[in-house]
Amino acid sequence: MLSRCWTLFVGPHFSKKINLETSFYKYSFKKLQNLLADQDINPDQARLLYNWHYKKNQTDPCSLFGLSDKAKNYISSGFHFKRPEIIEIKESDDGTVKFLFSLKDQKTVETVLIPFNKKYTVCLSSQVGCAMKCAFCFTGTQGLSRHLETDEIVGQFLEVQTWLTKNRPLDDIILNIVFMGQGEPLHNFDSVKEALEIFISQYGLSLADHKITVSTSGYLPGLKRWKAEMPSVNIALSLHSVFDEKRSRLIPINTKYPLSEIIPIIESIPEGKKRFVTYEYLLIEGFNDSEEDALATAQMLTNTKAFVNLIPFNPFPGSEFKRPTKEKIEAFYRIIQSHRIPVTLRTTKGDQILAACGQLNTNHLKLKG
C-alpha cells in the first residue's frame, strides 16, 4: 500500500510488515519503540508520536515536524486511529453518564462517567460480559462473550474524554479511572496492563498511577502476576463477606480461590507508604449487613492496608437481593470506623439509568434492538 505522505520512502527497509489494520492504541510506549527499532527507525521517534497523538490529538503524521520520512510513511501506511463508536448515551439527573459502545464486531460494552465536585471518574469495561457470574451483578448474568483488546479499552477512555470536552467544557477533567465496569480485569490481564501503560505514559496521556484503580473479584492467576508485571496502580478487591461460605454465594470463584489464598497476595501489592487496598463491601439486606458481619470484617482488616468502601446494593431487573435500611448501613459503617479502619459510604450514582455499580449489562439493550 502506498503511503499518504508524498515523501514516500521506498526500499527494502520495512523488514517486518505490520498488519494494515493495526490500531495505534494497541502499542504501549515501549512496544512502539520496539516496533520502530525493528524497522530501523530511531526508537526515540516514539516520543514524538505519542506526544503528537495523545497530547495534541493529531492523526496525520505527514505534517509532524521532526519525524523522519521513514517513520511518517511507516505510521501513515500501517496504523489507524479508529475507536469504539458511541451508539447510545444516557444521562442521569445526578450528572452520571452511561455510554453504550459498539465494537468492531458489533458487540457492545458500557462505560460510565461519574461526576464528583466538577471532576469525573470514568469506569471502564475490560470484557464483553464476564465469566465470574457474581450473584449481585447484572453483567454476571450475561456470561463472557470475549476479552476487550487494548485499543478498545483505551478507545473507551478517549471517546468519553472527547464527549466531556464537547459537552461539559467547564468541568471536563477526568481525575480517576476505575476498572469496575463490565468484566474481570485480571482475567484479561495482558490487554488491561497494556492499556494502563498507555494511560500513565509520561509522553502520552500522563495520567497519575495513584488515580487509577483496578478492581478484582479475586482472580488468583492475575493476582499472582500483578507484582512483577502490573504498573503501580491501585488495587481494589470485591470482598462483600469475610465468611467464605457467604462470599462463595456472591462470588462463585471464591470456592476455587478462597480469601486465605488471595488476601496475603493483595496485601503485599500496594507500593508506597500512603497506598491502601480498597475493599469493596456490597451491603445486602439480611445477608451480609449484620453486626456479626461488620465485626468479623473489622477484625480481619485491622492492622492491614485496608480502606473499606461500603456500597449499598443497587437493585437491577430480576435480582434476588435488596438494599439494607439506612439505619443498618450506618450501624455497619460505625463498627468499621470504631476499629480505626478508614471507611467510606459510597453514594449511589446513576441507578436511575442502570449505571451504578453492578448494574451494567448489554444483553437487555440488544433485546430492545
Report the SS3 class of residue 90.
strand
- The Cα 10–Cα 73 span in angstroms is 9
Interface with ligand SF4 (CB under 6 A), residue from 49, 97, 134, 269: 134
Nearest Cα neighbor of 256 from 203, 338, 184 is 184
Is the Cβ–Cβ distance between 35 and 27 less than 8 Å?
Answer: yes
> E strands, the chain, where?
22-23, 79-80, 85-91, 97-102, 108-116, 119-123, 127-129, 144-147, 173-179, 212-216, 234-238, 277-283, 306-312, 343-345
Report the SS3 class of residue 123.
strand
Is the Cβ–Cβ distance between 240 and 296 less than 8 Å?
Answer: no
Least distance in angstroms from the C-beta of 59 to ligand SF4: 33
Q: Whose Cβ is closer to ligand SF4: residue 74's or residue 316's?
A: 316
> Is 327 one of the catalytic residues?
no
Pairing of strands 85-91, 97-102: antiparallel
Q: Whose Cβ is closer to ligand SF4: residue 7's or residue 317's?
A: 317
Least distance in angstroms from the C-beta of 141 to ligand SF4: 8
Binding to ligand SF4 by residue 250, rule CB under 6 A? no
Least distance in angstroms from the C-beta of 216 to ligand SF4: 8
Which residue has 468484566 as its cell numbers?
183
Judged on CB neighbours under 10 Å (0-12, 13-18, 19+), 218 is buried
Least distance in angstroms from the C-beta of 128 to ligand SF4: 11
Q: Candidates 62-70, 133-141, 151-159, 306-314 — which segment interacts with ligand SF4 by CB under 6 A?
A: 133-141
Q: Where are the alpha helices (DSSP H) in 216-342?
A: 220-229, 244-250, 259-267, 291-301, 326-338
Q: Candidates 25-33, 74-82, 87-95, 134-142 — which segment interacts with ligand SF4 by CB under 6 A?
A: 134-142
Interface with ligand SF4 (CB under 6 A), residue from 39, 111, 161, 182: 182
Binding to ligand SF4 by residue 186, rule CB under 6 A? no
Assigned C-alpha cell, 100? 453504550
- The Cα 329–Cα 322 span in angstroms is 12
Interface with ligand SF4 (CB under 6 A), residue from 61, 115, 183, 312: 183
Is the Cβ–Cβ distance between 232 and 197 less than 8 Å?
Answer: no
- Give the contact letters, 299-338, x = binds to ligand SF4 (CB under 6 A), - = no: ----------------------------------------
> Is 229 one of the catalytic residues?
no
Least distance in angstroms from the C-beta of 182 to ligand SF4: 6
Q: Whose Cβ is closer to ligand SF4: residue 61's or residue 183's?
A: 183
Binding to ligand SF4 by residue 153, rule CB under 6 A? no
Q: Candidates 35-43, 46-54, 182-190, 345-353 — which segment interacts with ligand SF4 by CB under 6 A?
A: 182-190
Is the Cβ–Cβ distance between 301 and 241 less than 8 Å?
Answer: no
Least distance in angstroms from the C-beta of 70 to ligand SF4: 44
Nearest Cα neighbor of 232 from 214, 252, 246 is 214
Interface with ligand SF4 (CB under 6 A), residue from 152, 184, 280, 351: 184
Which one of 5, 110, 123, 184 is the catalytic residue?
A: 110
The residues carrying an active-site annotation are 110, 357
Residues found near ligand SF4 in the complex (CB under 6 A)? 130, 132-134, 137, 139-140, 182-184, 217, 358
